[in-house]
Amino acid sequence: MSKPTITAFDWVPDFARGQVRDLRVRWALEEVGQPYDVLYLPQGCQKQEPHRARQPFGQVPTYEEGDLILFESGAIVLHIAEQHGRLLPGEQAARARAIEWMFAALNSVEPPISDYAFATLFEAGQPWSKPRLPAVEQRIHERFGEVSQRLGDKEWLEDDRFTAGDLMMVSVLRILEDDGFLERYPNLAAYVARGTARPAFQRALADQLAGFTGNPPPGFEEWLKQQQQQGEAA
């Protein structure tokens, strides 16, 4: 098996450190014990060739292993889980349920979290952001409540065994770990704490943070300042 290479940014603003989606791929690789290389991209290069040939939407991460090139963190994590025979149960029904939770994390839980990021950060200065924020927060709490109810008092989502479904769900839930949303759901807060306490996660996080050695693109600081000022005035 060849050593894979993933792509990541060499710089992101402070609020994004520890959240860029290459962390999910790093975590999976650490869980299965697979060494990997990282190709670091300066901000802006992701929208240019040759990265567009790897990732048509100009995003990170990507995953290269021999002739195989993958994009989308969920697809990459699933490939790693299947390739190494870990992070997915061997029994067919349990395996299907673990994959089901991967899709749930990305398709049901993460979208309102992304909406929240746009409303409070990326488009905070736009006139539509503040009025729509209560509805966005309501959708987040609805999804968190549903996951909380299904998790109950279990350690992990399925069969009390950590799977790729838990890896993706914890990765998504922890996006709002510092925003107060998890406080209403003690079992989810404990679930996220269990996931992020895993040695593989800690190694992945440390590696991602250590890779931020680049510089911000020209004009970023001014853009961020304008967004903050407009958001405060809205």
Which parts of the chain are beta strand (E)? 5-9, 37-41, 62-65, 68-71
Asked whether 132 and 126 are in contact (CB, 8 A), the reply is no
pLDDT at 103: 98
3 state SS of 160:
coil
pLDDT, one tens digit per residue, over 74-106 is: 999 999 999 999 999 999 999 999 999 999 999
- Pick from 195, 180, 216, 176: which is nearest to 14 by CA? 216
- 205 shares a domain with 193: no
Comparing CA positions, the residue from 193, 142, 186, 137 lying closest to residue 166 is 193
Domain-embedded: residue 97:
yes
Alpha carbon 132 to chain centroid, angstroms: 24
> What percent of the chain shows pLDDT beyond 90?
81
Same domain, 13 and 78: yes
> What pLDDT, in 10s, does the model give residues 63-73?
999 999 999 99
Q: Which domain holds residue 81?
A: 5-86+201-220
Residues 30 and 74 in one domain: yes
Packing angle of the helix pair 164-173, 186-196 (nearest 10 deg): 110
User: In the structure encoding, which two tokens stand for residue 112, read together?
Assistant: 């309102």
Q: What is the mean pLDDT of residues 195-217?
A: 96
More confident residue, 40 or 218: 40
- Alpha carbon distances (Å) from 188 to 21, 145, 198: 21, 9, 16
Mean pLDDT of the chain: 93
pLDDT at residue 147, as a whole number: 98
Instruction: Give tens-digit pLDDT for 181-196.
Output: 999 999 999 999 999 9
CA–CA gap between residue 168 and residue 84 (Å, rounded)? 17
Cα separation, 31 vs 171, in Å, equals 14
Are 120 and 149 in the same domain? yes
Cβ atoms 159, 91 nearer than 8 A? no
- What pLDDT is attached to residue 229? 58
**CATH number for 167:** 1.20.1050.10
Does residue 226 form part of some domain? no
Which residue reads 């250590």 in tokens?
210
- Residue in the block written with tokens 């520890």: 18
- Type of residue at 222: E
Per-residue confidence (pLDDT) for residue 126, from 0 to 100: 86
Query: Do both 117 and 151 map to the same domain?
Result: yes
Which CATH number covers residue 44? 3.40.30.10
Whether 206 shows a pLDDT value over 90: the answer reads yes
Is the model's pTM score more than 0.85? yes
Q: Which pLDDT belongs to residue 57?
A: 96
Count of CB atoms situated within 10 Å of the CB of 116:
20
For 8-55, write each residue's pLDDT tens digit.
999 999 989 999 999 999 999 999 999 999 999 998 889 999 899 999
The reply to whether 233 falls in a domain is no
Partner residues linked to 6 by β-bridges: 38, 63
Residue 154 lies in a domain: yes
Q: Is the pLDDT of residue 233 over 80?
A: no
